[in-house]
Amino acid sequence: MAYVLTVDQIGSRRRQDLVGTVMTALAARLPGVPVTRTVGDEFQLLVSGEPLSVVTAILVLMRDGDWHVGVGIGPVEEPTPADLREARGPAFVAARRAVDEAKERPGHLRVVATAPAVDEGEEAEVVLDLLLALRGRRSAAGWAATDLAEGGLTQTEIGERLGVSRQAAQQRLSAAQWSLDVAARPVAARLLARADARAGDDTPGRTGSAA
């Protein structure tokens, strides 16, 4: 089983092409994860067995509101070609459906798992939506503080870097819901892993399809 992310730029006809820039950023954050520009302003990632990497990719992509993101969970045909445009399998079909449906959603994210993991995929999507909603309320000052915390700095070091007291840095992190953000990521990853474990399983009595 695998996770396929199909990503499409929002409003690309009215804006500059951002695909190359974000692909470079993702490659730096997720070394070894195949990323291929498929057509126009769209690209795909293939993540095998690393659900936390899927969460990381989603958070990178959704930060500035520039992308529709569809996540497909299910089998892929082996061996996987280096060029994802040549790859096949139910996970790719699910990702195509997911990105198309993401375009109709306010949060621009959709997770589709192949049967019988449909419910598990939707549960993962709910937690991811909540995490993104939390981040969407974050102020510029909150982002400045959390970016430094992401880099491993202490509250004292964050305060020094931002020119404020340690207490002020702590307040900014608290207002940005930094602790909840960090705690929610592995929860989302576990739910994605649960969907991945069930996707493609022909358990009797479950119905649904990503096609």
Per-residue pLDDT of the chain in tens (211 residues, 90 and over written 9) = 799 999 999 987 777 899 999 999 999 999 999 999 998 899 999 999 899 999 999 999 999 999 999 999 999 999 988 889 999 999 999 999 999 999 999 999 999 999 999 999 999 999 999 999 999 999 999 999 999 999 999 999 999 999 999 999 999 999 999 999 999 999 999 999 999 999 977 544 433 333 3
Topology (CATH) of 2-118: Alpha-Beta Plaits (3.30.70)
Instruction: Tell me what pLDDT residue 26 has.
Output: 95
Instruction: Tell me what pLDDT residue 209 has.
Output: 36
Backbone angles phi, psi at 64, to 5 degrees: -105, 5
Instruction: Tell me what pLDDT residue 134 has.
Output: 96
Q: Are 155 and 170 in contact (CB under 8 A)?
A: yes
The Cα–Cα gap between 161 and 145 comes to 9
The Cα–Cα gap between 107 and 142 comes to 21
Instruction: Tell me what pLDDT residue 141 has.
Output: 97
Q: Report the candidate in 4, 23, 28 with the shortest Cα–Cα distance to residue 61.
A: 23
Decide: helix, strand or coil at residue 154. coil
Q: pLDDT per residue over 136-157, tens digit each?
A: 999 999 999 999 999 999 999 9
Q: What are the boundaries of each domain within the chain? A: 2-118
Q: Give the residues across from 143 on adjacent strands.
A: none
